[in-house]
Homo-oligomer: A and B are copies of this chain.
């Protein structure tokens, strides 16, 4: 799972496929753009979007030293990589073994665990976790306690000897919207709920948001009281978020090889085992994706608008770049990615936070 110190390949055409490519200049654009909008601790980058300590290290170089994780594996990996200044597990865990493993990291890392029920408070306390955050449901039918229960849970956590650092809420249902005014209005309404819970819970953290509404949060901090945004997708992007007109660009693609070509279609070796499919088919510039199978992607060249000339399918052996519809599960299917500039391969880096 460790990168080769010097990759043999110096050009993407020499890579075996499928292979994850991350364009370093686009990545740097995305990281610096976000760091300008939400500098330092105002952004708590979510590592679930890339599952790579190497990429998190780049985010730290842009000034963000606090990170969000979705799994214990991500927390442990980040701490062991020296990225444990302030790690938030923004997810509920009742697994006693995993919580105990987390607790052992607390000498060297700042570990905070989200809780939303008596059971999760008690599990954290039993495992010796020192810091928790109250996860408040602000509209997405997923985790988070009822807002009116937040203060009681905080008291229960304090009674069990844990420090309560504040609240988090994730308005995931508001991340992607056709109407940004509606998105702004609904985000602010959700933050009213979170702010009210925060005032009852106490603590210094009010954590919320994501890539899709990071700018709403940046512009309304004084009103909402949100102290940090949990964005992840902004670094690499995908076609799902690209519809929003955000200032981030497509940094990730999956390099494929054309392995079969017919008159009307071509087939590449980027199948659905190498692509997160929950947001639908991926995209290929200048081509129409027909469907994905386990190990295959069937696609065709797009006809020009005037339909005047027959455009041949790409030849067997040629390379294509496939843009995933959802970056998070795509990264979790690969064990490494290549940093590239155009067709030049600069480095191979591990996706080392996979699994649970």
Contacts and interface: CB of A to CB of B under 8 A. Distances in A.
Interface of A: 16-18, 48, 70-71, 91-95, 97-98, 116-117, 119-120, 137, 141-144, 146, 172, 257, 259-262, 264-265, 267, 269, 272-274, 276-278, 290, 292-296, 298, 315-317, 328-329, 332-333, 335, 355-356
A30 B84 CA distance: 48
Contact of A292 (B71, B94, B278, B355): B278
A329 B278 CA distance: 12
Contacts of A335: 355
B295 A91 contact: yes
Contacts of A260: 92, 116-117, 120, 142-144
A273 B328 contact: yes
12 contacts: A18-B356, A48-B294, A92-B260, A94-B317, A117-B261, A119-B317, A141-B264, A144-B260, A146-B262, A278-B292, A294-B328, A294-B329
B117 A17 contact: no
Nearest to A116: B260
B328 A71 contact: no
A138 to B, nearest CB: 13
A142 B293 contact: yes
A91 B141 contact: no
Chain B CB count within 10 A is highest, among A18, A259, A260, for: A260
Contact of A277 (B98, B277, B294): B277
Nearest to A291: B141
A142 B298 contact: yes
A278 B137 CA distance: 29
Nearest to A265: B141
B93 A259 contact: yes
A143 B278 contact: no
Contact of A332 (B97, B290, B296, B333): B333
A325 to B, nearest CB: 11
A336 to B, nearest CB: 10
B48 A295 contact: yes
Given A293-B172, A296-B142, A316-B117, A17 B356 contact: yes
Given A94-B316, A142-B293, A259-B143, A272 B265 contact: no
Contact of A267 (B142, B172, B264): B142
Contacts of A137: 262
Contacts of A274: 356
Contacts of A92: 259-260, 267, 316
A140 to B, nearest CB: 9
Contacts of A16: 95, 97-98, 356
A316 to B, nearest CB: 4
Given A16-B95, A260-B142, A260-B143, A278 B272 contact: yes
